[in-house]
Structure 1
Amino acid sequence: MKKILTFVFIVILACLLLDKISGNNMTMEINGNDVDGPLEFLFGMIFAGGGLLIALVAIICAAVMVGLVMAGVGVLMVAIVAGCIALGLLFSAPFMVPLLIPIAIIWVLVSRNRKHSKSN
């Protein structure tokens, strides 16, 4: 069943491709002159491909620009959050004094014990 489905899919794609290549209903006008024949299809494919290429370059440039802007916004947001945390600690420092006193005492005792153990 899978082989038949693959074959049918390839046949349908080939029929669509052949329909587009024949270009019976295409009309193209360059500087007021109608272009007919095989050149009509060739010019149509070149101009369509050129338009797709320009669109691809534009999308890539837009993606790079969005990536740079979002990275910059992310760094800015991290800086703002760090600043808010620093301000919060600065404003809450008087309320943290009862917690900082025991921590300072423990720090002094530990550092004094290190000094005595190094000198011996």
Structure 2
Amino acid sequence: MKKILGFVFILVLACLFFNKISGSNMTMDFNGNDVDGPLEFLFGMIFAGGGLLIALIAIICAAVLVGLVMAGVGVLMVAIVAGCIALGLLFSAPFMLPLLIPIAIIWVLVSRNRKQRNSR
């Protein structure tokens, strides 16, 4: 599919290019003077290319800005969720005390055994 899409893209660009070369119905005003002939095509391509280049730079800048804003919003949302979890744990701590006492006793026993093994 990617090869076909690339081929179609190149074909469309070639058709547009040949249409611009063969079409001489364009008129161009440059400082109040009509420009025609090969210079018309040259000026048209230069000015159109310059406009496309400016548009490309503007789109890249906008994409970078949107990416930074969305990344900042994502970090902010993670911080808010972590804060809500911390508040929930803080408020539920008194109710968790009967469950935390046996866990603390087991933790002390395991760490004491580990200290005795390390001292030998």
Matches within 5 A, 1:1-120: 17-120=17-120
* 2-structure distance, mates of 1:117, 1:40: 89
Across the two proteins, how many residue pairs are aligned to each other?
A: 112
User: Alpha-carbon deviation of 1:17?
Assistant: 3.6
Distance 2:105 2:32 in 1: 92
Task: Give the share of equivalent positions with the same residue, in percent.
Answer: 85
SS state of the match for residue 34, structure 2? Answer: strand
AA aligned to 1:104 is A
Query: 1:13 and 1:88 mapped to 2: Cα distance?
Result: 59
Q: Distance in 1 between matches of 2:16 and 2:67?
A: 38
The CA RMSD measured in Å over matched residues stands at: 2.5
Work out which of the two has the higher radius of gyration on C-alpha atoms and give 1 or 2: 1
CA distance in 2, matches of 1:107, 1:14: 73
Q: 1:46 to 1:104 in 2, by over 3 A?
A: same
What displacement does 1:118 show?
Answer: 4.0
Q: Which runs of 5+ in 1 are unaligned?
A: 1-5
Measured at CA, do residues 97 and 28 of structure 1 come closer, stay the same or move farther in structure 2, by a change above 3 Å?
Answer: same
TM-score, normalised via structure 1 length: 0.79
The CA distance in 1 between the partners of 2:38 and 2:99, in whole Å, is 87
Return 5+ residue gaps in structure 2 as ranges: 1-6
